Structure 1
């Protein structure tokens, strides 16, 4: 099918407007978060952990993916990781690396992609070193002994049951704005393709300053994934 030059120009204009709207929202939320103190983040994190660990979807999940949090500006997931191990769950965490394979059909080339790799134990988690963002991160060498959840799905093994996801902003329709790299959206598209559309339950966790008040909404495009649920630091639960 031939696409006309006018159609291409319109698409470029729409994509640019979407990028600009997302960047403006990221900047606005960053200003809000800059005023938060450490104790507020701790209190909100405790509230979210309590909500999550009491969810039937979490309690029933055996294989969970949990992002490892930055020191500030988002819900602290340390207690979630520890609870998951205490409950005997298999824990997977994000690992970002240079793309080594061709992009999916219809996707632009990706300089880097995110996979979910296994943590062997609580001691394994505690031994991770922090990267330049302050996020505990496995070494590339350790990947030789870690499971990759997409590889396991490709080989017909069990996938993930639940994913705990970060974000910059969220809205009342369970839309999510990330940091702009598209890591989670691309991961979910890859996972969906390999799993035949069978997806984990997705839970966003948010500080109260990251949830937009209606009618404000997160600007999204056709490659942005909505979540199944958002848990907020003021003990609010948002379901899609």
Structure 2
């Protein structure tokens, strides 16, 4: 698939997911966030991991705040995205604490992230990381249909093992 077609497909998918997320009530988003948090924290790969990469949620997304707090409570190392606008490159960089999030600068998309000049450990490219595993938490959405024919969306956690370069 050509780069332009991939880019167009990504934009289309993002727009569709954004529309679906906006359709969820605040109560349903909170319920889904709680269920997702419980599933992640109970997951064996999460339990056994020492390093987790996770996104910082925006207002209209599943809330990852409780998972981030648990990462630190369990003594794990947490990495969050830092997007480099000039190169369209994203690194997962170390977060010092859950409290640090609110002090991080915001991007033009209103997302907290460390500044580009802020030197931090990167999840996959530091020498100390070469022999370690980092798990990336993402959320997938599953479409469900009840016996009554009501269609709903349910958030499911997906943990992916990341390899060093």
- Give TM-score, length-normalised by structure 2: 0.74
Partner of 1:76: 63
Residue from 116, 128, 137 that aligns with 1:164: 137
Q: Larger strand proportion, structure 1 or 2?
A: 2
What are structure 2's unaligned runs of at least 5 residues?
Answer: 145-152, 160-165
Kindly indicate whether the alpha-carbon contact (under 8 Å) linking 1:47 and 1:234 is maintained by their aligned counterparts in 2. Answer: no
Structure 1 residues 124 and 20: alpha-carbon distance in aligned structure 2, compared to 1, 3 A threshold = closer
RMSD over aligned Cα atoms: 3.0
Q: How does 1:1-240 map to 2 (within 5 A)?
A: 12=2, 19-72=7-60, 74-98=61-85, 111-141=87-117, 143-144=118-119, 146-152=120-126, 154=127, 157-165=130-138, 205-206=139-140, 210-212=141-143, 234=154
C-alpha displacement of 1:161: 2.7
Q: TM-score, normalised by structure 1?
A: 0.53
Question: Does the CA contact (< 8 Å) of 2:123 and 2:129 recur in 1?
Answer: no
Three-state SS of the structure 1 residue aligned to 2:91 is strand
Report the CA distance shift for 1:131/1:60 in structure 2 as closer, same or farther (over 3 A): same
Q: 1:160 to 1:75 in 2, by over 3 A?
A: farther
d(CA) in 1 for partners of 2:125, 2:6: 33
- 2:52–2:77 contact (8 Å) kept in structure 1: yes
SS in 2 for 1:27: helix
The whole-number CA distance in structure 2 between the counterparts of 1:122 and 1:135 is 15
Q: Which has the higher contact order (CA 8 A, sep 6+)?
A: 1
Q: Matched residue of 1:82: which SS?
A: helix
Check conservation: 1:70, 1:76, Cα contact below 8 A.
yes
Distance in 2, matches of 1:98 and 1:30, equals: 22
